[in-house]
Amino acid sequence: MSYLVLARKYRPRDFDSVVGQKDLTEVLRGAIRDDRVGHAYLFCGPRGTGKTTTARIFAKALNCVEGPTPNPCGVCERCVAADEGHEVDIIEIDAASHTGVDYVRELREQAAYAPMAARHKIYLIDEVHMLSKSAFNALLKTLEEPPPHVKFLFATTEPQKLLDTVLSRCQILRLSPISETDIAGRLDFVMQAEGFTPEPGVSREVARLARGGMRDALSMTDQLIALAGTSPKVEDVARLGGEGGLAELDLLLTAVEDNDRSAVMSLLPSREGGEGEYLGHLLNHLRHTLVVALCGADAPMLEAGEEERVVLVARAKRLGADRLQIWLEELLAARERMRQLPSQSRLVLEVALLDLARPGGDWPLAELEARLVAMEGRLAAGGGEVAPRPPASGGAAPQQRPAQDAAPRRPSMLRPDTSPGAAPVRQAPDQPPPQATQHQHPEPDPPGIPGPGGRPTDPAIHWRAALDSLAGRQGEVQRLLARGARLTRLEGGRALVTTRPLGDADRKLLEAPRVQTAIARALAEAIGHDIELQIEFGRVPTKADLPKPDPFTEKVAETFGGLVEREHD
């Protein structure tokens, strides 16, 4: 007899055996118990969470000889036929191979006939989002008003691809990723039933690598037994998981924290091909660390064993929530780049981690922007203490710079103003900083000094607060503004934001009315009153924008046949 994999052998046969979906099974049981069964249900959720399995149990409960019943007997002719997969009145369809409208028309014609043996004729369509638009349209009328004996059960991992007209005709049941605790408990039951004797912690480690999918966990257990025998150890799971175990992740992230870029390269998996899965483990671990940093180690949404919890708490204290969020954003962006460049996944992962390991590579851009603006203001006013360097870790307090380093003898190059019509700014290399005199304007207040209304007067402070507010609503907009825009002027009820030269896609994004409304709302919250927003887009200087040379230089060039090289800031 051929071997039956664990995922099929231990597939749930009744609602009590379904793991991690208690609320959903209670909905289905209640519908049967109260005789309120609908004509169409859509089961949606991540892979391996029980969509098709739950739909099959529901179909069996509707057709059981003793039913419809919330607890099918499992021994009657209808239940046995459903379990063995040859029930003629439960028609399972793979939408990926039956996408055309002709097949749906045939289905619609057959639905009019009464079931052959069971109480209901049930159509279970898996991966229903694969049906074509014309096929869906052909099904709509039957889906909304089917014959009394017909039930439709749909399953999909991508409900967003379904037409709204289809969604509105179904009762939508969402399955959530299964918790690590529930998966580990089910694995312990399966291993005991199979006679396996795993080392303590094996089930928890497999559950962590499965990332919410019971089918993935059982498939991984099959591979683990084939690899290590009937007494697997935790290190065997790490080998099976493509070097994505807890110990390996901890060493790699510690190297990133320590800015040890050579260690980062050596600790990455030696084999290529599993970068996407490895990055998924990194993201999941950092997400758990962020939960600990924000909500504490006892947060109810934290799924972690005791050993992992100790690691998470220590890292959360060292990094802090702000740095963890930056790491997550950078790695999420790397995952998107992997999808665009699948053949360069290894390179994308290496570059992302090396960038985070670069000293100062994870400082918040808003902090750097505010510091530069404050430094420019002080240098232009005659010198003074430079704003403190942002802390490298989330929990450490900022350190003051040495006194001799506070006012440099030679000011650094200022950022050019790219707003239209702005004059170029140059600083002579050896020119000493200007001395304050009684005719000069007084030095402005340092950032953070409250104004008459009790709020800071420095636009940089308001801009940073607005960017922080946008980060939770419009992440892409926030990153674009942090890189290439600043609050230039704030007068009364008007705010002027200027940008560097932007590409067409970035400019269209900032020109969108909904985006400008979101920016204005964030600024209004930071300032304390409504404002009128104006955005000036910088442009790449043309030859006409460059300053003309003086007459003497033009004469020399004309005499000797030379060219005048003109620069711009």
Of the candidates 63, 58, 61, which has an alpha carbon nearest to the alpha carbon of residue 42?
A: 58
C-alpha 541/C-alpha 539 separation (Å) is 6
CA 380, distance to chain mean position in Å, is 41
Report pLDDT for 411: 37
DSSP output for 416-479: P--STTPPP----TTPPPPPP-TTSPPPPPPTT-B-TTSSB--HHHHHHHHHHHHHTT-HHHHH
Report pLDDT for 37: 92
User: pLDDT tens digit string along 371-394?
Assistant: 677 777 777 766 544 445 444 444
Residue 59 contacts residue 254 (beta carbons within 8 Å): no
C-alpha 240/C-alpha 224 separation (Å) is 7
C-alpha 520/C-alpha 498 separation (Å) is 14
User: pLDDT tens digit string along 420-453?
Assistant: 444 444 444 444 444 443 433 334 444 443 444 4
* Tens of each residue's pLDDT in the chain, 569 residues: 578 899 989 999 999 999 989 899 999 999 999 999 999 999 998 888 999 999 999 999 999 998 799 999 888 999 999 988 888 999 998 888 877 888 888 888 888 888 888 899 999 999 899 888 888 888 888 888 888 899 999 999 999 888 888 899 999 999 988 888 899 999 999 999 999 999 888 888 888 888 888 998 999 899 999 988 888 888 888 777 555 567 788 888 898 888 888 888 988 877 777 788 888 888 888 888 898 888 887 777 777 767 778 888 888 888 888 888 888 988 998 988 888 888 888 899 999 899 888 876 566 566 666 667 777 777 776 654 444 544 444 444 444 434 334 333 333 333 444 444 444 444 444 444 444 434 333 344 444 434 444 444 577 888 888 888 887 777 788 888 888 788 888 887 888 898 888 877 788 888 888 888 888 888 888 888 888 888 888 865 555 555 666 777 777 666 766 666 555 44
Domain 246-357 listed as CATH 1.10.287.110 = no
The two structure tokens encoding residue 237: 């799971």
User: pLDDT tens digit string along 336-372?
Assistant: 888 888 888 889 999 989 988 887 656 656 666 666 7
Residue 50 contacts residue 18 (beta carbons within 8 Å): yes
C-alpha 462/C-alpha 522 separation (Å) is 9
The two structure tokens encoding residue 186: 């089910």
The two structure tokens encoding residue 119: 């109480």
Q: Using a cut of 0.85, tell me whether the model's pTM lies above it.
A: no
Residue 159 DSSP label: G
Domain 6-174 listed as CATH 3.40.50.2020 = no
Angle between helices 504-511 and 513-527 (to 10 degrees): 60
Q: What is the CATH number of domain 364-377+455-569?
A: 3.30.300.180
**In terms of residues, how long is the chain?**
569
Distances (CA, A) of 7 to 184, 217, 415: 14, 9, 60
Report pLDDT for 25: 92
CATH architecture of 180-240: Orthogonal Bundle (1.10)
Of the candidates 49, 111, 56, which has an alpha carbon nearest to the alpha carbon of residue 81?
A: 56
* H helix or E strand, kind and range, residue 221: helix 214-228
Strands of 485-491's sheet in order across: 485-491, 494-499, 532-536
- Tell me how far apart the terminal alpha carbons of the chain are, to the nearest angstrom: 78
Does the CA dihedral 553-557-558-564 come out positive or negative?
Answer: negative
Residue found by looking up tokens 């929990």 in the block: 395
Rg (CA), the chain: 32
C-alpha 36/C-alpha 246 separation (Å) is 47
Sequence ranges of the domains in the chain: 6-174, 180-240, 246-357, 364-377+455-569
SS3 496: strand
Distances (CA, A) of 303 to 182, 186, 285, 327, 519: 10, 16, 10, 20, 36
Helices (H), 67-194: 77-84, 101-111, 133-144, 164-167, 180-194
Of the candidates 84, 97, 100, which has an alpha carbon nearest to the alpha carbon of residue 136?
A: 100
